[in-house]
Structure 1
Amino acid sequence: MSRLVMKFGGTSVGNADAIRQVGEILQKAYTDGHEVVAVVSAMRGVTDMLINAAKAAAQGDDAAARSASTTIWERHAEAAGVLLGRTTGPDLAAIKQELSMFMHLCEAIAILGEVTPRAMDLISSLGERFSARLVASYLQTLDVPSEAVIASELIVTDECFGSANPLLDETGERTRARLLPLLEQRTLPVVTGFLAATRDGVITTLGRGGSDYTAAILGHALDADEIWIWTDVDGVLTADPRIVPNARTLSRIGYTEAAEMAYFGARVLHPKTVRPAVEKRIPVRILNTFNPTHPGTLIVPDDTVNGRAVKAVTAIRNLALVTVEGRGMLGVPGVAARVFGAAARSDVSVLMISQSSSEQSICFVVPSDASRRVVQALEQEFAHELHIGAIDRVWVQDDVVIVAVVGGGMRRTPGIASRVFGALGEKEINVVSIAQGSSEYNLSLVVEAADANDAVRAIHDAFSLGEPPRQEEPTLVVPE
């Protein structure tokens, strides 16, 4: 039998019906003989309520904390009433106690007039504590011995509050010491996602995709056979089904492909979160809590698993294209460094870069809400060059979208670019900018926002991604 780490997101534990489905999934895996560690997120929306209340308290509004506390308690008590037949007991008392602590923290924040990153980590991580206790208690009613485990007992991080980095060696020691005895006793641990702690026991959080990250960290520490990420979709799709009705679930993709797709807007694991699994080459499954018989998508080390060069088409929206151009840039060293130095000082993430071979223009894509800030920084940086005419202008094109064509087999397959641009040409879609990395895992292009959906559909059709590959992908069977 297998050792599995299963993570359930906020939608999967969002109410009593969802938690009942989670319980059935875990009960089946447990009774089938697997060693299972569950990782749970907060109920959907709870973390946002906690964060917003803390921010409101910093502005002197403590009513938001009282309202959030009441709503959060009612949601958990309602689920407990349905699942457990009670709204009292040690588990519910612990939730009430932590909500009381949350209220006291917000009162202190209101007095100070600010919420520190350290305090925000403590507040924002409370939701996972609530859901872990609720899920563990429900499993016990299903005759599955279970225990809620707070991840601060397991995962050791640095002090980078808000996006802490795990110290894997120390984490491994603590995790094995705490969880292996439970597994040996056939007890199913339900671990809080998202949160961790420093060596001194100060609560930290793991940032974006934190609960996925928790699952990968625990899988790494326990040498899991697989990590299963349960969400509300049937795995990783070839495109957004809201745009492409015939988008299909990919049965397998490679780690690098998954990272590229996540970067370019697909609903898949964030690259950071899967890194511990990659290090030990642990397969990761993406599965649907509400359609548990669907085989989902398996993420594996090999990027060429189905003989198809292109696997998916994704898009990132709400972007702007910033261009620096001028004849005086030709052959002048250091221009690119100054351009991206100015962007970095503006605290702006650059999503794509393209430069003409003549070196007379550099363009790059940034989030729309940051574009004016970047242009202002560039105009300050190149004020002299703009004054003497060495740089003609710095300008921005709003309402653009990056469309990315992703696939591990692209680097060995000639003609990919011609098929992409041929498909766009047939639909009379103008390409504003192009970029392709030397790894050739993706071909990225910029189009106007109005053309984005047509571009995604045209490329998806050009590579017949809605149809099974000629070399049929192997059917995945959930391990027994």
Structure 2
Amino acid sequence: MPLLIMKFGGTSVADADAIARVAAIIMDQQAEGDSIVAVVSAMSGVTDMLTSGVRAAATGSDAVCRDVAEEILHRTREAADKLIPASAAERRSVVTAAEELLASYVAVCRSVHVLAEATPRVLDRATSCGELLVADLLAAHLCTMGASSQVVNPAEVIVTDDTFQNALPLPVETAEHCARHLAPLIAQGVIPVIGGFIGATVDGVTTTLGRGGSDFSAAVLGQALAADEVWIWTDVDGVMSADPRLVKDARVIPVLSYVEVGELAYFGAAVLHPRTIRPLVDGRIPLRIKNTFRPQASGTRIEPEANPAPGTVKAVTNIQGLSMVTVEGRGMLGVPGIAARTFEAVARCKANVLMISQASSEQSICFVIPAHDVACVCGKLEEEFALEISRREIDRVGALDGVGVVTALGAGMRGIAGVAGRLFTALAQYGVNIIAIAQGSSECSVSIVVTEEDGESAVRAIHEEVMRR
């Protein structure tokens, strides 16, 4: 019997009606003969609310967390009233569990208020209840529909290191715990429901998996259980060829490879965090992105290899709010270690480098970083190269603000002559000036630096003139 890991995001479980829709999707898929493990996010906005309460407590106000707890408890009770019959014992059980979880949250906030500090470990403990509340609601509703379903505590199955707020699952330990706690339930036809985003250290201390954590949870469980597929349910039909707010005829991409979706995630497409792909690559497990609100739509399937048509550009992305930093000087020619020292200085600011370009003459190197990191990066570079600047070996360290990176992606670009030429011709036709260019050795993407004002025009140019023809 095929095993599917089905993860449902915050908009998919936002209220009672949404959770009922999720339960119907699960039941329909089980009726097709599949075994299901459900992974759920918190209701939309809940994790942010929990975080704001803790941070307010750290700065002197513990009233915010009480208000947050009351609001979340109200939403949970309201959902329980709609999803679970009054006569069912599950309703009282779900509400009691919610009351206990949120009372614990308020207690943590009080401790934070006294200490005036919210450590990463404390934040993990405080913000990890939203997913558990949804898991209780969904499992109880599935039971009222006649299914056999059981909540499984994520801390019992996803074992992580102790990097609080951004923990990394330990594959061997996680596989062992899944074999112990999940595999027997699956074999009995039970639908396990697990809160995403949450794990625990080997010693049982609660951790969270950071940005994209619930998607990551689903992928980790897919690897640990050797699932046949992982399905991510969200509020869009799949991965789009461009931002539909910029390109009216943007379309769903039916098939992508692991490499392509990794590039898309890195270059700003709101699709998946790059970490989500990693556990699936080792097991060569396909992933599908589907729309909870249009389950009949086929979505986007992500496979180890996508067998693209030669010359195909599948998607175009646009990241804004960036600056391009340039280090240049005639004294850099043939001098080893300049690049290493440059990026060591950047690392001291903990800045993320999105793109690098270097002239073949070796007289300049430029790279793109978030605009908010420019002051620190330029300062560290001037410190690092103070001697070279004084000797005029390096002429300047400068920054160009207000730029963006537009990236065209597709494995079909690999080894095909003329793709870059088509891109540049399209941009010229739309009057877009190219500031810098970079292409990775995978040949799956070409990134172009343009002004923020030209970003939208560049996306439309590539989509209209290159991708539609």
Establish whether TM, by shorter chain, passes 0.5: yes
- Counterpart in 1 of 2:69? 69
Structure 1 SS opposite 2:10: coil
The Cα of 1:318 is off from its aligned counterpart by 0.8
Alpha-carbon separation, structure 2, partners of 1:305 and 1:404: 18
Structure 1 SS opposite 2:467: coil
Alpha-carbon separation, structure 1, partners of 2:310 and 2:217: 32
Alpha-carbon separation, structure 1, partners of 2:76 and 2:460: 42
- Counterpart in 2 of 1:222? 225
Alpha-carbon separation, structure 2, partners of 1:245 and 1:306: 24
Q: How does 1:6-45 map to 2 (within 5 A)?
A: 6-45=6-45
- Counterpart in 1 of 2:444? 441
2:172 corresponds to 1:172: no
1:117 to 1:99, Cα distance in 2 relative to 1, 3 A: same
Work out the number of aligned pairs and report it: 466
Candidates 274, 289, 300, aligned match of 1:271: 274
Which string of whole-angstrom CA distances, capped at 9 and with x for unpartnered residues, describes residues 354-391 of structure 1?
Answer: 11111111111000111111111111111222223222
Amino acid at match of 1:172: A
The Cα of 1:463 is off from its aligned counterpart by 2.1
- Counterpart in 1 of 2:335? 332
- Counterpart in 2 of 1:416? 419
Q: Which runs of 5+ in 2 are unaligned?
A: none
Q: How does 1:370-449 map to 2 (within 5 A)?
A: 370-449=373-452
Amino acid at match of 1:336: A
Q: Which stretches of structure 1, 4 residues or longer, exceed 6 Å deviation after superposition? A: none
Alpha-carbon separation, structure 2, partners of 1:264 and 1:243: 16
Alpha-carbon separation, structure 1, partners of 2:191 and 2:222: 15
Structure 1 SS opposite 2:447: strand
Alpha-carbon separation, structure 2, partners of 1:305 and 1:410: 9
Q: How does 1:253-292 map to 2 (within 5 A)?
A: 253-292=256-295
- Counterpart in 2 of 1:53? 53
Does structure 2 conserve the Cα–Cα contact (< 8 Å) formed by 1:252 and 1:306?
no
Which string of whole-angstrom CA distances, capped at 9 and with x for unpartnered residues, describes residues 386-409 of structure 1?
Answer: 223222111111111100111112
The Cα of 1:326 is off from its aligned counterpart by 1.4
Q: How does 1:102-181 map to 2 (within 5 A)?
A: 102-181=105-184
Alpha-carbon separation, structure 2, partners of 1:259 and 1:411: 16
The Cα of 1:444 is off from its aligned counterpart by 0.4
Does structure 1 conserve the Cα–Cα contact (< 8 Å) formed by 2:81 and 2:91?
no
Does structure 1 conserve the Cα–Cα contact (< 8 Å) formed by 2:267 and 2:317?
yes
The Cα of 1:307 is off from its aligned counterpart by 5.0
Which string of whole-angstrom CA distances, capped at 9 and with x for unpartnered residues, describes residues 312-356 of structure 1?
Answer: 111111111111111221222111111111100011111100111
Does structure 1 conserve the Cα–Cα contact (< 8 Å) formed by 2:265 and 2:271?
yes
Does structure 1 conserve the Cα–Cα contact (< 8 Å) formed by 2:85 and 2:91?
no
Does structure 1 conserve the Cα–Cα contact (< 8 Å) formed by 2:80 and 2:94?
no
Q: How does 1:169-248 map to 2 (within 5 A)?
A: 169-248=172-251
Does structure 2 conserve the Cα–Cα contact (< 8 Å) formed by 1:226 and 1:282?
yes
Structure 1 SS opposite 2:182: helix
2:343 corresponds to 1:354: no
Q: Which runs of 5+ in 1 are unaligned?
A: 468-480
Does structure 2 conserve the Cα–Cα contact (< 8 Å) formed by 1:303 and 1:409?
no
Q: CA RMSD in A?
A: 1.3
Does structure 1 conserve the Cα–Cα contact (< 8 Å) formed by 2:311 and 2:416?
no
Amino acid at match of 1:352: M
Alpha-carbon separation, structure 2, partners of 1:139 and 1:357: 62
Alpha-carbon separation, structure 1, partners of 2:168 and 2:208: 9
Amino acid at match of 1:182: L
Amino acid at match of 1:294: A
The Cα of 1:148 is off from its aligned counterpart by 1.1
The Cα of 1:85 is off from its aligned counterpart by 4.2
Structure 1 SS opposite 2:402: strand
The Cα of 1:40 is off from its aligned counterpart by 0.2
Alpha-carbon separation, structure 1, partners of 2:365 and 2:309: 37
Alpha-carbon separation, structure 2, partners of 1:306 and 1:180: 40
